[in-house]
Amino acid sequence: MPDGATSRKLSPSHTPQQLAIDQATPSSHISLTKPHRIPVPTATTTLPQPLPRPPPAMISDAQLYSLAIFLGSAAMLMIVLYHFLEINAKDAAPLSEERKADALPAKAR
């Protein structure tokens, strides 16, 4: 007898669906005195509610304004610093006569 399904005594009040459930499940999981029922959600069943989420935080107009002023000022300072360093940079070696001649246009030679 495989897993005891055929050794159970069934009452004549069992429906074919209950017989199929009884034969498909081991005897330790089901009782013949109570029909096996799967809980079905109904209108009165309360489902677990998701946790409330905070509303998405948007940046305010004042924060956006101050951020734009800060980033614009930082960009202008970086430009001024770059030009200051570029103008005051020391060349590693003076240009040779050949390189100076190549730098001038053909009409200026």
For the stretch 50-90, pLDDT in tens is: 888 888 889 999 999 999 999 999 999 999 999 999 999 88
Give CA–CA dist 72/77, Å, rounded.
9
Give residue limits of the domains in the chain.
61-108
- Mean pLDDT value of segment 28-54: 70
Burial class (CB in 10 A: 0-12, 13-18, 19+), 78: exposed
Residue 66: predicted pLDDT: 98
Give CA–CA dist 60/51, Å, rounded.
26
Residue 47: predicted pLDDT: 72
pLDDT over 90, % of the chain? 28
Residue 96: predicted pLDDT: 79
The mean-pLDDT minimum among 6-15, 36-45, 47-56, 74-83 falls in: 6-15
Most confident of 6-10, 41-45, 47-51, 85-89: 85-89
C-alpha torsion angle, residues 6, 10, 14, 17 (rounded to 10): -10
What letter does residue 22 receive in the DSSP assignment?
H
Which of these, 32, 7, 2, 1, lies nearest to 18 by C-alpha position? Answer: 32
